[in-house]
Amino acid sequence: MLRYLTAGESHGEAIIGILEGAPAQLPLAPDDINEHLARRWLGYGRGGRSKIENDKVHIYSGVRFEETLGSPIAVRIDNGAYEKDKAGWPEKMAIEGDPPEDMETVTMPRPGHADLAGKQKYEHDDMRPVIDRSSARETAMRVACCSIARRLLNEFGIEVGSHVVRIGDVGFDEPEEWVDRRNALIEEGGGASAIYEAADESATRMLDDEMTERCVEHIDQTKKERDSLGGAYEVVVTGVPPGLGSYVHWDRRLDGQLVQAICSIQAQKAAEVGDGFYNARRPGSQVHDPIEPREDGQRAYPRRTNHAGGTEGGTSTGMPLVVRGYMKPIPTLIKPLDSVDTATGEPQPTRYERSDITSVPAASTVAEATVAYTVANEFLRKYGGDSVPEIRRHVEADRTAHAETARDEDATEE
């Protein structure tokens, strides 16, 4: 099984990560990670920080000659803001010495941000440490660590993709409005990577040109109003074998883990597996996916529809996994919001801050990464081994056994 740790402050020198448990002999080059780090900066509506970051991963251990060793993989991403911001971060975030004499402390919490909760929890007078660690800057390292898990999935034909379905008030209302387009992309491209490749072409990572345009206008208008926007996106995983996750214990349910994968990301406030929210409004006959016979050698029983999002009983069915994330509007607004100065206890509006208007497109790429990590872990629980060749032997043995079972079923029918 995999596990990873991240460390680092948003305006400190760098962010650091360690991934433990990656099997040996997985082909891995820095660009396998850099590709996804660059995608995390896609999307109309980002602010000034996007112009100064150029995320590139430095790998320090666990890889030799572009192949994993089975040992922990240590990685670092430098923060461009540290030097380029001209805000004096090297002094303000110094590891040694005292704070600069003229340094202002942050005492005005932004409603909706971690500022006040973190100040109270850790008893900081200055909220800077809270701002810096709760920042979504940390998602750069999550993408880096999880992209290694994703690389492992790719080795076994499992692909992950995402696209945005809503930004603020503008978007699709029902999955029926986009599933055909999404499924056609999977069909044409042979897997979910085709979804992310198509979405990356859109300024808002959407699969529809007209909707992209409407969202861009919505973002422009919101910027004029000095406000911010949330939204929704969908992550799809194809090539998933049946039998990942389980119903036998609460923390092994794949659907529950997928929701956690989304809601563990900063500002993501809800998630649904398959048509979760929509299914709650429909009768069972329109929700449950009819089961169809397997063809010769087929591992999974095909379903006519996929409202369940590829899981039943917390276990993968072999249909694509579908999980959607819902992001709240960014709490750093250019427009002031009512708050309290914690130094004086007096009411005070929040101050102007550099801000993104929306980062839903970025969140969708981070969600691809965290979902990949979750699926990779369940994949390793079922087929795990110390090296990629060993895992491949386990996968092949399973495929052969099930192909034989499917052939037996065919013979019985005849």
- Which positions touch ligand EPS (CB under 6 A)? 10, 47, 49, 53, 81, 135-137, 140, 266, 332, 354, 356
Our CB check for ligand EPS shows the closer of 19 and 141 to be: 141
* DSSP H or E run through 324: strand 321-327
The least distance separating ligand EPS from the CB of residue 399, rounded to whole angstroms, comes to: 40
Residue nearest to ligand EPS (CB): 49
Our CB check for ligand EPS shows the closer of 154 and 266 to be: 266
**Residue 349: Cβ within 10 Å count:** 11
Please give the full DSSP string across 42-97, using - where no structure is assigned.
Answer: -STT--GGGGT----EEE-SSEETTEE-SS-EEEEEE-HHHHHT-S-HHHHT-SSS
Task: Please work out, in degrees rounded to the nearest 5, the angle formed at the alpha carbon of residue 3 by the alpha carbons of 2 and 7.
Answer: 150
| 3 state SS for 148-180 | HHHHHHHHCCCEEEEEEEEECCEECCCHHHCHH
Our CB check for ligand EPS shows the closer of 172 and 196 to be: 196
The least distance separating ligand EPS from the CB of residue 85, rounded to whole angstroms, comes to: 7
Residues in the chain: 414
Our CB check for ligand EPS shows the closer of 41 and 172 to be: 41
Our CB check for ligand EPS shows the closer of 108 and 136 to be: 136
The least distance separating ligand EPS from the CB of residue 47, rounded to whole angstroms, comes to: 6
The least distance separating ligand EPS from the CB of residue 182, rounded to whole angstroms, comes to: 26
Our CB check for ligand EPS shows the closer of 11 and 150 to be: 11
The least distance separating ligand EPS from the CB of residue 377, rounded to whole angstroms, comes to: 24
Is the separation of the CB atoms in 85 and 154 below 8 Å? no
The least distance separating ligand EPS from the CB of residue 13, rounded to whole angstroms, comes to: 14
Our CB check for ligand EPS shows the closer of 53 and 378 to be: 53
The least distance separating ligand EPS from the CB of residue 37, rounded to whole angstroms, comes to: 9
**Residue 391: Cβ within 10 Å count:** 22
Our CB check for ligand EPS shows the closer of 81 and 149 to be: 81
Our CB check for ligand EPS shows the closer of 73 and 127 to be: 127
d(CA 215, CA 206): 9
Partnered with residue 312 across adjacent β-strands are 315
Return the sign of the alpha-carbon dihedral for residues 355, 361, 366, 367. positive
Closest residue by Cα to residue 48 from 74, 95, 80, 21: 80
Our CB check for ligand EPS shows the closer of 140 and 185 to be: 140
Is the separation of the CB atoms in 366 and 139 below 8 Å? yes
The least distance separating ligand EPS from the CB of residue 255, rounded to whole angstroms, comes to: 28
Please report where in the chains the tokens 């670092």 appear, as a residue: 76
Is the separation of the CB atoms in 41 and 77 below 8 Å? no
The least distance separating ligand EPS from the CB of residue 63, rounded to whole angstroms, comes to: 23
The least distance separating ligand EPS from the CB of residue 135, rounded to whole angstroms, comes to: 4
* DSSP H or E run through 316: strand 315-316
Is the separation of the CB atoms in 309 and 82 below 8 Å? no
SS3 percent helix, strand, coil of the chain, rounded to 5, is 40, 20, 40
